[in-house]
Amino acid sequence: MVQDITERKMIEDNLRESEERYRALFENCLDAVLLTAPDGRILSANTAACRMFGRTEQEICQLGLSGIADITDPLLPVALTERSRTGKFRGELTFIRKDGTRFPGEISSAIFKDQDGHDRTSTIIRDVTERKQMEEVLRESKERYRTLFERTSNPILVIDTEGNYVSCNEGVLKFLECTRHELLEKNVRDFIPPGKERQVIEDHKALWDVGGTRETEYYVHGEVKNLELTITPAIWHGKRVVFGIGKDITKRKQLEKALQESEELYRVLTEKSIAGVYVVQDGKFQFLNNNAIVYTGYTIEELIGAKMTIVVHPEDWEQLKRCVKEMLRGERMSPYEFRIITKEGHIRWFMETATSIIWKRRRAVLGNCMDITERKAAEEKLQLSTERLRKVFSGTIQAISVAVETRDPYTAGHQKRVTDLARTIASEMGLPGETIDAIRRCCPYGEPDSRHREDRHPCGDTYQTLEIDTCGVRNY
């Protein structure tokens, strides 16, 4: 009896090929593949599963699902219930390696019937540890970015390619003095100072493609504010945008402007001043106005960087240093005088004050001086004239005294003795030389009145005492 089994053989061949393909897929799959029963038994495990759990296939089958899955994972009962209800489950569970370490696994499980009609479960597990680590890093990065974005005091803004504001932090709202809702309805043009729109837009559009830093002016409620803005092109929710991180430099700009105005005012004052103005640092000239240069006879090139000794008279150098130190310490308030020697060799007198200043971030001395050469010459002439007058005056008094004594022989020599005595007493009292000299000139005028002459002591003591009173030394 012959039976045609060709069809059966074909089926068997197809089944064998299918099993071989399944076995090849089972063994070479990069993910762990488990063949399990609904009751948790593991019937087989592929090579990837053995590597993943660090166990042999036999060990995995002996342990069962409860030996490789973390039974404390709250998602495990949910997964089993879902698979039981729908016949499949897809999600994430926690698994345990042989060394006890836990790791997250992405699981795909489905129930099917084998050739004998028994319920079986195919379970595919993918180790997502690296992905989870990357997700955690990304989450932390986003958190850091969010913290930086929201909490930093520096303005951070996001602008689209049309110049519309699409996002910002609190720093921007504080700088632009508006609410978030108000800002997100505005364009960068709304904050450009009048008359500068074209220039600002051209400058910034050039940076929107390549990035860079610009000092930008913003017109906020009628006032100009300054922001140092670093621009970076980026992708924001799938769209090309520009990130801007700024630093409020409004106060710095105001200070720079005030400093510039102050320097301009200082320059005008020093250049137009009738006094000589100079700055000395480390004993060397760092700045001189035109008057100071003219006084010395040198050129500006010869003086800048030169020591002060190039012009100060050698005999006055130590005194000058002492006076400057006293004035800088506040021990001296009045100006001091000294001499200089010009390039031509002429000696000139100067009256000066000194002040401590900061010059190029270092301590320096600012000197203000006036040429008093003509005044000193006039004083010298006046002194000579005064001396001549004094001699004439003294000679006249002497002549009158001699004439008086000649008329009254009894008092001859008395005036001279009184003068000498008065001067001696004044010297003993420590009176100034000018006072002593005045006594010498004035005493010869003292003539005793008639009462004094009637009371004159035979020895002349009473008369002498009255003469001393006349000369103004009664308190001795």
Tens digits of residue pLDDT in 181-207: 999 999 999 999 998 888 888 877 778
Cα(315)–Cα(313) distance, rounded to whole angstroms? 5
Backbone angles phi, psi at 280, to 5 degrees: -120, 130
Three-class secondary structure of residue 467 per DSSP: helix
Residue 409 pLDDT class (50, 70, 90 cuts): low
Is there a domain that residue 35 lies in? Answer: yes
Q: How many domains, the chain? A: 4
Is there a domain that residue 184 lies in? Answer: yes
| Token pair listed for 277 | 């103005």
Determine how many CB atoms are found less than 10 A away from the CB of residue 188.
Answer: 20
Average pLDDT over residues 136-148: 79
Task: State whether 243 and 289 are in the same domain.
Answer: no
The pTM (predicted TM-score) of the whole model is 0.42
Is there a domain that residue 263 lies in? Answer: no
Which of these three, 347, 371, 395, is where a domain ends?
371
Three-class secondary structure of residue 39 per DSSP: coil
Task: State whether 109 and 211 are in the same domain.
Answer: no
Indicate if the pLDDT at residue 463 is higher than 50: no
Q: Burial level of 244, CB count in 10 A (0-12/13-18/19+)?
A: buried
Task: State whether 392 and 366 are in the same domain.
Answer: no
| 214-224 residue pLDDT tens | 888 999 999 99
Task: State whether 460 and 410 are in the same domain.
Answer: yes
Average pLDDT over residues 166-180: 92
Q: Which of 146-155, 348-357, 376-385 has the lowest mean pLDDT?
A: 146-155
Task: State whether 123 and 43 are in the same domain.
Answer: yes
Task: State whether 83 and 31 are in the same domain.
Answer: yes
Is there a domain that residue 178 lies in? Answer: yes
| Token pair listed for 299 | 């050129």
Which of these three, 133, 167, 190, is where a domain ends?
133
Task: State whether 161 and 249 are in the same domain.
Answer: yes
Task: Establish how many alpha carbons lie within 13 A of residue 115's alpha carbon, considering only the half-sphere containing its beta carbon.
Answer: 2
User: Which domain, by its residues, includes 181?
Assistant: 152-253
Cα(41)–Cα(65) distance, rounded to whole angstroms? 6
| 288-345 residue pLDDT tens | 988 889 999 999 999 999 999 999 999 999 999 999 999 999 999 999 999 999 999 9
| Nearest to 89, CA basis, from 125, 62, 53 | 125
Task: State whether 38 and 126 are in the same domain.
Answer: yes
Indicate if the pLDDT at residue 70 is higher than 80: yes
